[in-house]
């Protein structure tokens, strides 16, 4: 489960994360396989949490960390959308 900033809980949605990553990585030299692996890692991270719940901001921070390592342009794209959604 993902705990949103308003304390709502919703199921982890792999496709939602992958779609956001695909948008951020559009026209960048990042393969779909790399993005799938990143989503796998995030899904595993959530599953390893006690109670299998994680705040959405922790998921976003981890995604940004990994994107920064993969491609700085994709990182900036994702971070700008992510930051606007947190306001």
Residue 26 has pLDDT above 80, yes or no: yes
Phi and psi (nearest 5°) for 25? -100, 10
Domain map (residue ranges) of the chain? 2-86
Model confidence pLDDT, tens digit, residues 41-56: 999 988 888 888 899 9
pLDDT digits (tens, 9 = 90+) for 61-80: 999 999 999 999 999 999 98
pTM of the model as a whole: 0.84
């Amino acid at each position: 489960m993902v705990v949103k900033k308003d304390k709502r809980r919703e199921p982890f949605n792999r496709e939602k994360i992958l779609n956001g990553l695909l948008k951020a990585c559009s026209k960048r030299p990042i393969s779909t396989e790399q993005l799938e692996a990143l989503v796998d890692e995030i899904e595993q991270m959530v599953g390893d949490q006690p109670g299998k719940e994680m705040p959405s901001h922790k998921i976003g921070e981890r995604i940004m960390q990994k994107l920064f390592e993969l491609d700085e342009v994709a990182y900036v794209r994702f971070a700008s959308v992510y930051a606007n959604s947190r306001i």
